[in-house]
Chains A and B, each alone.
Chain A
Amino acid sequence: MARMKFLCDSKRCIECNGCVTACKNENEVEWGVNRRRVVTINDGEPGETSISVACMHCSDAPCMAVCPTDCFYQTDDGIVLHNKDLCIGCGYCLYACPFGAPQFPSDAAFGERGKMDKCTFCAGGPEEDNSPEERAKYGANRIAEGKLPMCAEMCSTKALLAGDANEVSDIFRERVIYRGHNDGAWSMSEEDIAYDATQKV
């Protein structure tokens, strides 16, 4: 059984926000909610680094551990999903999550946050796969169609990888090995690319 993971290669992320847009569009995410965001550290300074972040589908998920209604569940692929019918919008998952993944559509007084929404790894929710109910509540279920999350599939520099942890880390490991070589694992041969990764900026 696969163990699904995201990995953002921060040396490749160019802060285009393509993943954010892809996610928003594919899942028809509500206003005010961003399941994925790109954060740039040292913006405009030497060493500027961007990284795309969403729910990391933790093995020992803090959201799951603190939820008062026990609305979270983990699929056999290690994807952390939640049942919006059980969610009361208390915000505890938001307090606990290291990555700021849980989002709420409302921010009204008396703790009226609405139902929590977060990245589903494009795997929908507890409803029947790709049913209208599932689509309305959770967005796409690409996993049920044998496809990977839209954000990673649309990433222009292939910085954002999604899939089985072993395969994702194999790809990343290969990149690390070839980093410092002329093509920095951007291409399969040394001749077909103008970019020289050994050239320091």
Chain B
Amino acid sequence: MLRIKWPSQILLVLALIFSGFANATPSDAKVAGFAGADYWQVVKKGDTGRTQDQGAEAGQLINVKGEEWRYWRNQWITPAGAYAIGGTLALLAIFYLLVGQKKLDHPRTGNLIERWKRLDRANHWTVAVLFIILAVSGLSILYGKFFLRTALGDSLWANYIMLCKLAHNYLGPLFVIGLLFMIVRWIKHNFFNRTDLMWFLKGGGIIGKAHPSAGYMNGGEKVWFWLLTIVGIIVCASGLVLDFQNFGQVRETMQIANLLHAAGSLILIAASFGHIYIGTIGTEGALEGMKTGYVDETWAKQHHDLWYEEVKGKSSND
């Protein structure tokens, strides 16, 4: 009979008995089984048979999940990602035009406080550069064909998209290492506490003169950290599944990995625009910290008052 796992086989036998089909003569059953409706039904459900072909999953006639993958990728993730990225960019542009840069309330004191060690900065910029390369190449792989092929012409497009794929596949694993290193190194700063709750209730103080208290990391930075940790690990793990197909994972595994990878990356890319905005043109003095490692006292007092007091307390004790 049909190759079906044993619990469902019992059900099938029961169903056949109750339907009276079991009373059919053996020769009738044979004819029904031979390329009949029953046969095509199991083939349609992805039944596998024997073949001389040594390729992976060669015995399966119909890859049932392929159409589902296509549907989710093409009908949902592709448009949703475009809206998420375009929407975030538009919101940030509107915000910048309406509210503008968050200035320092008081003049700089000229006294610098060390915020990021050299290793922190090296780690941050390695991950950041890899993130941008992976985002550009990944977005090209998802959206490039809609406009880049006509814009570049076939020959240039072929070289560009091949470069994207190679960059994505070879730099991806380096990003995994960099991100994991960053998570381990920074997790101690990023556990939520009561201060963060108040910070969120005051909307992070992004509008107006309010300055909610914050420690070394504020609530928003912690959200970005945990987004990178949770979604980032999903993206990294699914990326490795796709990158190392040589371990023989089946198509269905790679379809699911691809959906998680695309959806997760698009969320991270959209969120990264917020991070980049706040860290550059959005906040006066923010980029200095990650560029030089040092921030001005005024900046520290305004954005991370609790951390500033902690540092001051420590240095006065010394």
Contact = CB atoms under 8 A, between A and B. Distances in A.
Interface of A: 10-11, 17, 20, 32, 34, 37-43, 45-49, 51, 53, 62, 65-70, 83, 85-86, 88-92, 94-100, 103, 107-113, 200-201
B15 interface: no
Interface string B32-51: 11110001001100011111
Contacts of B34: 11, 47-49
B105 interface: no
Contacts of B301: none
Contacts of A47: 29-30, 32-34, 39
Interface stretch (B92-100, B154-162, B180-188, B194-202): B154-162
B121 interface: no
A92 to B, nearest CB: 8
B11 interface: no
A51 to B, nearest CB: 7
Given A39-B49, A40-B51, A70 B254 contact: no
Contacts of B58: 34, 37, 39, 100
A100 B61 CA distance: 7
Interface residues of B, number: 60
B179 interface: no
A110 B39 contact: no
B142 interface: yes
B170 interface: yes
B281 interface: no
A80 B85 CA distance: 33
Interface in B47-106: 47-53, 55, 57-64, 66-67, 69-70, 73-74
Nearest to B140: A68
B9 interface: no
A107 B30 contact: no
Contact of B66 (A69, A98, A107): A98
Contacts of A46: 29-30, 33
Contacts of A62: 66-67, 70
A95 B258 contact: yes
Contacts of B74: 65-66
A88 B30 contact: no
Given A49-B34, A110-B243, A100 B51 contact: no
Contacts of A65: 70, 74
Nearest to A41: B49
A45 B26 CA distance: 13
Given A39-B49, A69-B157, A88-B162, A200 B30 contact: yes
Nearest to A70: B145
8 contacts: A11-B35, A32-B55, A38-B51, A39-B50, A85-B158, A95-B66, A96-B69, A111-B169
